Amino acid sequence: MSGPRRVRVTSPQTRIALSRGHRPAQHLLPQPVPGSPDEGELAHARAVFHRQRRLAARTLCLLALLLFGLSGLLGAAAWLGRVSVLGIPVSWLLLMAASYPLLLVIAVFHVRGAERIERPGRSGRPGPSERPGPSERRGPSRRRGR
């Protein structure tokens, strides 16, 4: 760095606030209310939410079934250890390698389902009206509280 040494400058408010250290947070702006107050949009958002929740619940059940089911199976079926494939006991193979692809499949199915719910202009949508295009929607939907 050449030239004269720079000096650090802030507004007086900032300087005092920084030097004062700990103090309770205060918001000058009114606390915003998230979400949009539009009634039609609200009904639509509720529908999307419920569908997403059903999907998430389903995925979670599948996941629980896989994890608890596989461990239960390995616990109950001791004979799996006596059979071997390529020299590896089947129960070990199931534990070491089989669960990962299944996990991936569950996740991929979930993501596809969730994206399908979010995709605009899908038929059979339980909304109050036809959903307008994304650019129109964005206009009036202010997310900030007022």
Partner 1 sequence: MLDRMRRPRPDEGMTIRVLTVVQDIDTDLRHGLGGRGAPSAARRLRRLLAAQAVVLAGLDGTVAVAGPDPDPDELAALLAQTYENGTPAHRPPWSAVPLIVAGELSGALAVREGAEAELAAVGTLVSRSLDHAALRRARGRIAQAELRTLRAQISPHFLHNALSVIGARIRTDPARARTLLNDFADYLRYSFSAQGDYATVADELQAIQTYLELQRARFDDRMELSVRMAPEILPVAIPFLVIQPIVENAVRHGLEPKPGPGSISVSGFGEGPLCVIEIEDDGVGMEPEFAQAILAGSGGRAVVSPDTGRASVGLANVDQRLRTVYGPEYGLVIETARGGGTKVVIRVPRFMRGVVAN
Partner 2 sequence: MTALLAIGLLFAASMAIGVYGVRATRSTTPDFLVASRRVSPGWNAMAIAGEYVSAASVLGLAGLMLKNGIGTLWYAVGFTAGYVAVAALVAGPMRRSGAYTVPDFADYRLGSERIRKLCAVIVLVIMWLYLVPQFKGAGVVLHLVSGTPYWVGVVLAGAVVTASIAAGGMRSATYVQGFHYVVKLLFIAVPAVFLVAHAGDGARTEALRMDVSDWSRPLLDLESSGQPLLATWSVLLATTLGAVGLPHVIMRFHTSASAWMARRVAVGVIVLLGVFYLFPAVYGLLGRVFTPELVDGGDTDTVTVVLPGEIVPGTWGSVLTAVVAAGAFAAFLSTSSGLLMALAGGLSHDLTRPSVPRLRLAVAAGALVAVLLSLPAQRVDINVAVGWAFAVAASTFCPLLVLGIWWRGLTPAGAAAGLAAGVCAATGSALASVLTDPGPGWLVVLLAQPAAWTVPLAFAVMIGVSLLGRPPEWAERAVLRLHSPNA
- Least separation in angstroms between CB 4 and partner 1: 4
Binding at 124: pick from partner 2, partner 1, none (beta carbon under 5-8 Å per type):
none
Element (H, E) at 48: helix 39-76
Binding to partner 2 (CB under 8 A): which residues in 29-48? 31, 33-37, 42, 45-46, 48
Binding at 36: pick from partner 2, partner 1, none (beta carbon under 5-8 Å per type):
partner 2
CA distance 129 to 41: 9
- Least separation in angstroms between CB 21 and partner 1: 10
The CB-side HSE value for 122 (13 A sphere, CA atoms) comes to: 15
CA distance 98 to 78: 17
Is 37 among the residues that bind partner 1 (CB under 8 A)? no
